Amino acid sequence: MPGATGGVRKHIYVANAAATAPADARKNYWVAPALAVTSANQFNVDARNPFGAQRTIVPNTPAPTPIYPTATLVPANTFNIVRVSDGIRTWSPNEEFSISLGVLQVGLAFDKISLNATNQYDAFNRVMTTGLTNADPITLFLRANSAISFTGDGFPDVAATYIYNGQTRNVVYDDITNGVCKAFAAKEFALGQYNPRAVVCNGIFEVSEYAIVHELGHIFDYISGSVLTNGIASNFQLGSCITLIEGSTTSYTIMGYVSPANPWARGRRGWGSGSAISPFQQSPENIPLEATADMFLNWVYRSNNNNSEPKVSSLNTSISPSTPHSPQNGCDVVKPFDQNWLGFLNQDWSAQGAPFDNGLPGETRHAYMKERMIAIFSSNISIGW
Tell me the per-residue pLDDT of 198-252, one tens digit each, with 9 for 90 and over: 999 999 999 999 999 999 999 999 999 999 999 999 999 999 998 765 555 789 9
pLDDT at 48: 26
Give residue 74's pLDDT.
38
* pLDDT tens readout for residues 133-144: 899 999 999 999
Q: What is the mean pLDDT of residues 279-304?
A: 96
Are 153 and 48 within 8 A, CB to CB? no
Q: Residue 160's pLDDT is what?
A: 95
DSSP secondary structure letter of residue 103: H
Among 45-49, 273-277, 338-342, top mean pLDDT goes to 338-342
Residue pair 84/142 in contact (Cβ under 8 Å)? The answer is: yes
Q: What are phi and psi of 297, to 5 degrees?
A: -55, -50
pLDDT at 127 over 90: yes
With bands split at pLDDT 50, 70 and 90, how would you rate the model's confidence at 8? low
Decide which of 374 and 188 is more confident: 374
For residue 45, give the DSSP letter.
S
Can you give the pLDDT at residue 27? Answer: 28
Nearest-Å Rg of the Cα atoms of the chain is 21
Residue, of 192 and 360, whose pLDDT is higher = 360
Q: What is the mean pLDDT of the chain?
A: 82
Q: Between β-strands 8-12 and 180-184, what pairing exists: parallel, antiparallel or unpaired?
A: antiparallel
Lowest mean pLDDT among 26-30, 305-309, 364-368: 26-30
The residue ranges of every structural domain in the chain are 8-210, 229-383
Strand partners of residue 239: 253
User: How many residues are given for the chain?
Assistant: 385
Q: Residue 30: is its pLDDT beyond 80? A: no
Residue 6 pLDDT exceeds 80: no
What is the structure's pLDDT at 322? Answer: 73
Residue 28 pLDDT class (50, 70, 90 cuts): very low
Over residues 314-337, the mean pLDDT reads 91
Highest mean pLDDT among 46-50, 149-153, 163-167, 176-180: 163-167
Which of 61-65, 280-284, 346-350 bottoms out in mean pLDDT, i.e. has the lowest? Answer: 61-65
Taking CA atoms, 233 is separated from 91, 102, 173, 219, 325, in Å, by 35, 26, 28, 18, 17
Tell me how crowded residue 255 is: count the other CB atoms within 10 A of its CB: 27
Give, in order, the Cα–Cα distances in Å from 327 to each of 206, 241, 257, 324, 338: 40, 6, 16, 10, 20
Assign 384 a pLDDT band (cuts: 50, 70, 90): very high
As a whole number of angstroms, the distance between CA 124 and CA 112 comes to 11
Confidence grade of residue 337 (pLDDT, cut at 50, 70, 90): very high
Residue 125 has pLDDT above 50, yes or no: yes
Return the pLDDT at 247: 54
What is the residue type of 173? Y
Of all residues in the chain, the percent with pLDDT exceeding 90 is 67
How many other CB atoms are found less than 10 A from the CB of residue 378? Answer: 12
Percent above pLDDT 70 for the chain = 79
The pLDDT-based confidence of 181 (bands split at 50, 70, 90) is confident
Residue 9: the pLDDT is 52
The arithmetic mean of pLDDT across residues 336-353, rounded, is: 95
**105 or 62: which leads in pLDDT:** 105
Q: How far apart are CA 190 and CA 196, in angstroms?
A: 13
69: pLDDT confidence band, cut at 50, 70 and 90? very low
